[in-house]
Structure 1
Amino acid sequence: MSNDQIITLAHGAGGEAMQQLIDKLFLKAFNDKPLRQKEDQARVPLAELHAKGNRLALTTDSYVVSPLFFPGGDIGKLAVCGTLNDLAVGGAQPLYLSAGFIIEEGLSLTLLEEIVYSMAKTAKEQGVSIITGDTKVVERGMADKLFINTTGVGVIPQSIQLSAANARPGDKILVSGFIGNHGATVMLARDNLGLHSDLQSDCAALYPLINQLLLQHTHDIRCIRDVTRGGIGGVLSEIAQASNITIELDEVALPVRSQTRGICELLGLDPLFLANEGLAVFVVGPQHAETVLQLMQQHPLGQHAQIVGEVTAFSINHLHLKTRYGARRIVNVPYGLQLPRIC
């Protein structure tokens, strides 16, 4: 790269400064053959895809989290994990990523390097290649430091048929860990609340856990969804609507860290709708739910997993909560986000 210590408009202008940024940062960090060819598109053999499955899975997402770094992660790790998880919950093996960067003039090059290498490390750990991308630089004040867009490509084996419309009465609802950790962590990192906590984001790629479960229980798992902005309340409401069912959650069974619960009580938030970035919800047939739970708890990504509810009936898509006092109430999804720019 140049000797400049910050991003300038020249880094997005298509000239020498931009080429230096691409060659000495992005190509060096991501270091994948299709990317190094520097064509306008990545080229991958179709035979490589056919060997792994019979359906292509595609997803795209944008990341605007503030702050860029938070306990347990950063915007780069988040962009990779979030996109890979969107593939994994459909039963796809993630293979490739694209990455687009909207960079504000004045961003520290050192900061950008740290984020890019965090992305590269996370992708490499998951056996995924970042094979194409783009950079744009906008004037000061026209963005908030850095936004990242990622597109993921994966392949789904023929035997896997997951869908939010598959749930049926008697099915059990499992979560793979504590709810609300990411949202609570980012809130503490962003706002000067005068609170001290060892809480960390759960930001993680879930394919290793999901793949292990599907290998042994392909036909017992009806649906998997990753929990992000809307929390488990938002995800389960979507499943209830897609399957036209009622889901009842057990408040006592919900795994919530005491720090997250305390933050929610202090600020009037509902942990059901607080974001995660390394948590999945599983809808599992009743005969094998306990077996799936035990298998999940043996994996590092699922050691705090719990059965938290069940599908009670075909009906007008409702989400109910059985409270710790034995009462039942309908859980209504908020009109908007409890916390903006969480991912």
Structure 2
Amino acid sequence: MRELIEHVFLPAFDSAALSARHDGAVVRLGGASLAFTTDTYVVHPRFFPGGDIGKLSVYGTVNDLAMTGARPAYLSAGFIVEEGLPIGELQQIALSMRAAADACGVEFVTGDTKVVDRGKGDGLFINTAGIGLVPEGVAIAPRRVRPGDAVLVSGDVGRHGIAVLSVREALAFEEPVESDCAPVAELAAALISSGIDVHCLRDPTRGGLAAVLNEIALDAGVHVEVEEAQIPMEPAVLGACELLGLDPLYVACEGRLVAFLPEAQTERALASLRDHPLGRGAARIGRIAGEGKGSVVLRTRLGTRRTLDLLSGEQLPRIC
């Protein structure tokens, strides 16, 4: 995906906003700073433990806005519906989207629907776009990450991908795994409003925690070191990954954020995150150790060091 963006889309569409390489664009309009983002959801199956494609499409876009420091406000929705999709299922998904939007305090204001021939759309694809207002003085972007920053994560990782896989492949684990699908806008806003100098925020969706760390390392030109023993993971997720031969660090989350901020503010930031129900499992997992390398190293539980590279493909296709 990164190669497609680098070699196809950026040369065609490059702009100052795109060059920031963020989860959403921040643009000035009429004296205000607006965040704008869009995403398309193709998850299969459409219903999974802890969520569905509708809820995911709302929370995913709201979370991308929150990662820019914005207060999410308005959404659009585009539906590509395959002929033969039961109307009852579409209604259920639409109502799930409305409930998720209400929970986030955002409003759908425009949309579009297209129907494609049977066999051409795998049931349903959803695109959502969102806009939000970035408070004055807030500047959150990969370029602000610097040596000496701490790396924090708001909770355990890998649950969403395993939850989707369990339904897709009809796997019955000893301990059921539910997706962490949730909105993190309030969590991000609380962190920012507490006075923490947040340099960058990211939600570890496609490619999981390892992909986020690599993207920041490359875009900010820094070297990242993380401690495996400090990364929160549910035993059920670890067990499922061991059984299936997956690396949990590359498995997607849908209700977590990764924060990069000054080391001296770590304890305050953790206290702020842990005050929120979605941040009770927050932990410091590493640091920005230097400039210029664009690399990520994991110190394992055994004390050895392992390079975390970007994968050449996806471990789990179509999980968001």
Confirm or deny a common fold (TM above 0.5).
Answer: yes
Counterpart CA distance in 2 for 1:309 and 1:290 is: 14
The letter of the residue matching 1:252 is: A
What are structure 1's unaligned runs of at least 5 residues?
A: 1-49
- Give the match's secondary structure for 1:246: strand
- Give the match's secondary structure for 1:142: coil
Counterpart CA distance in 1 for 2:73 and 2:115 is: 28
Match of 2:34 in 1: 56
Residue 141 to residue 51, structure 1, CA distance change in 2 (3 Å)? closer
Counterpart CA distance in 2 for 1:185 and 1:79 is: 16
1:214 aligns with 2:192: yes
Match of 1:111 in 2: 89
1:311 aligns with 2:288: yes
Residue 89 to residue 196, structure 1, CA distance change in 2 (3 Å)? same
Name the count of aligned residue pairs: 294
1:195 aligns with 2:173: yes
The letter of the residue matching 1:54 is: A
The question of whether the paired residues in 1 share the 8 Å contact of 2:79 and 2:125 is answered with: yes
Q: Shift of the alpha carbon at 1:170?
A: 1.5
- Scaled by the length of structure 1, the TM-score of the pair is 0.83
1:164 aligns with 2:146: no
Map Cα deviations across residues 23-48 of structure 1 (whole Å, 9 max, x no partner).
xxxxxxxxxxxxxxxxxxxxxxxxxx
The letter of the residue matching 1:133 is: G
1:321 aligns with 2:319: no
1:175 aligns with 2:124: no
Radius of gyration: which is bigger?
1
The question of whether the paired residues in 2 share the 8 Å contact of 1:247 and 1:319 is answered with: yes
- Give the match's secondary structure for 1:288: helix
Counterpart CA distance in 2 for 1:315 and 1:181 is: 32
Q: Which of the residues 92, 96, 99 maps onto 2:77?
A: 99
The letter of the residue matching 1:164 is: P
Counterpart CA distance in 2 for 1:341 and 1:150 is: 17
Counterpart CA distance in 1 for 2:175 and 2:203 is: 25
Counterpart CA distance in 2 for 1:183 and 1:52 is: 40
The residue correspondences of 1:135-284 to structure 2 (distance < 5 A) are 135-218=113-196, 220-284=197-261
- Give the match's secondary structure for 1:56: strand
Q: Shift of the alpha carbon at 1:75?
A: 0.4
- Give the match's secondary structure for 1:221: coil
- Percent same amino acid at aligned positions? 47
- Scaled by the length of structure 2, the TM-score of the pair is 0.89
Counterpart CA distance in 2 for 1:326 and 1:153 is: 44
The residue correspondences of 1:45-84 to structure 2 (distance < 5 A) are 54-84=32-62
- Give the match's secondary structure for 1:124: helix
Counterpart CA distance in 1 for 2:175 and 2:60 is: 24
The letter of the residue matching 2:72 is: P
Map Cα deviations across residues 137-194 of structure 1 (whole Å, 9 max, x no partner).
1111111111000110111112100111211122110000110010010000110234
- Give the match's secondary structure for 1:287: helix
The letter of the residue matching 2:298 is: L
What are structure 2's unaligned runs of at least 5 residues?
A: 1-27
Residue 180 to residue 52, structure 1, CA distance change in 2 (3 Å)? farther
Counterpart CA distance in 2 for 1:165 and 1:268 is: 35
Counterpart CA distance in 1 for 2:227 and 2:99 is: 38
The question of whether the paired residues in 1 share the 8 Å contact of 2:75 and 2:109 is answered with: yes
1:130 aligns with 2:108: yes
Counterpart CA distance in 2 for 1:120 and 1:210 is: 22
The question of whether the paired residues in 1 share the 8 Å contact of 2:146 and 2:288 is answered with: yes
- Give the match's secondary structure for 1:217: coil
The question of whether the paired residues in 2 share the 8 Å contact of 1:217 and 1:292 is answered with: no
The question of whether the paired residues in 2 share the 8 Å contact of 1:52 and 1:157 is answered with: no
Residue 194 to residue 123, structure 1, CA distance change in 2 (3 Å)? closer
Residue 165 to residue 137, structure 1, CA distance change in 2 (3 Å)? same
Residue 255 to residue 114, structure 1, CA distance change in 2 (3 Å)? same
Q: Shift of the alpha carbon at 1:266?
A: 1.1
Q: Shift of the alpha carbon at 1:52?
A: 12
